[in-house]
């Protein structure tokens, strides 16, 4: 697969193919690898995204798999999920299969998230950029801690939601209040298979023991 498409290549490819620009971002540092690809005209956004990931794996040294997409520089670096595992490990909790948690613990997780969101609202109201950054970091920590508690592979879930969002349309794209809406080409995220796959990994012994 070519990263740059020329008019000669399009002509040589014949009918049924078209050029399409696809971007894949590193889940650690956020750098984006954006290239033009020749794709089938009837391919879905998900298929185009997967084609881009295959190209990056084969030609540019990226690591693209179930755990996320990582550029050559970030492979092997400590991720936020690594930090969450380390933090929860201090209290004797290890990764476990996806599943519901007790009502008491669920209430605690909700309170932690709500408290951090409330701090963000205050920081935004007073215009304190440092406090905004601090609150956003705390929100991510609380969110990922909650995903850890439920055994949810959040990166895989976010990846699937992103693919779905890329099939949505913009309203008032030039305005600050622009938002994504479900258009005729919308594809909903398929999250149940992700949770099922995570559950199978633990059942097959590929995960840590459930507690």
Please report, for the chain, the start and end positions of each structural domain, with discontinuous segments joined by +.
7-70, 98-152, 154-205
How many CB atoms within 10 Å of residue 154?
19
pLDDT value, residue 38: 85
182's CB contacts (< 8 A; 6+ apart) are 168, 169
- Three-class secondary structure of residue 133 per DSSP: helix
pLDDT value, residue 124: 98
Averaged pLDDT of the chain:
85
Residue ranges of the alpha helices (H) in the chain?
Answer: 7-13, 45-59, 80-89, 103-126, 129-150, 154-165, 192-203
CA distance 50 to 20: 13
Whether residue 8 has pLDDT greater than 60 = no
% of the chain residues with pLDDT over 70: 86
Residues 91-122: tens digit of each pLDDT: 888 888 999 999 999 999 999 999 999 999 99
Whether residue 78 has pLDDT greater than 80 = no
Q: Give the mean model confidence (pLDDT) for residues 75-79.
A: 76
Q: Count Cα neighbours of 41 within 13 Å in the Cβ-side half-sphere.
A: 7
pLDDT value, residue 205: 60
Residues 114-141: tens digit of each pLDDT: 999 999 999 999 999 999 999 999 999 9
pLDDT value, residue 105: 95
Residues 157-190: tens digit of each pLDDT: 999 999 999 999 877 655 666 678 888 889 999 9
């Amino acid at each position: 697969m070519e990263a740059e498409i020329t008019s000669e290549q399009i002509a040589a490819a014949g009918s049924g193919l078209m050029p399409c620009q696809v971007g894949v971002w590193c889940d650690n540092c956020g750098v984006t690898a954006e290239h033009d690809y020749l794709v089938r005209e009837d391919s879905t956004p998900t298929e185009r995204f997967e084609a881009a990931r295959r190209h990056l794996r084969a030609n540019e040294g990226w690591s693209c798999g179930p755990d996320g997409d990582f550029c050559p520089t970030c492979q092997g670096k400590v991720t936020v999920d690594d930090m969450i595992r380390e933090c929860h490990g201090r209290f004797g909790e290890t990764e476990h299969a996806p599943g519901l948690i007790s009502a008491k613990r669920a209430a605690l997780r909700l309170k932690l998230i709500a408290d951090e969101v409330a701090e963000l609202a205050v920081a935004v109201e007073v215009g304190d950029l440092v406090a905004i950054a601090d609150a956003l970091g705390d929100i991510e920590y609380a969110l990922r801690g909650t995903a850890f508690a439920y055994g949810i592979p959040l990166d895989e879930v976010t990846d699937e939601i992103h693919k779905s969002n890329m099939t949505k349309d913009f309203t008032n794209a030039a305005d600050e209040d622009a938002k994504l809406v479900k258009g005729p080409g919308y594809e909903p995220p398929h999250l149940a298979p992700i949770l099922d796959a995570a559950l199978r990994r633990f059942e097959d012994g590929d995960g840590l023991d459930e507690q």
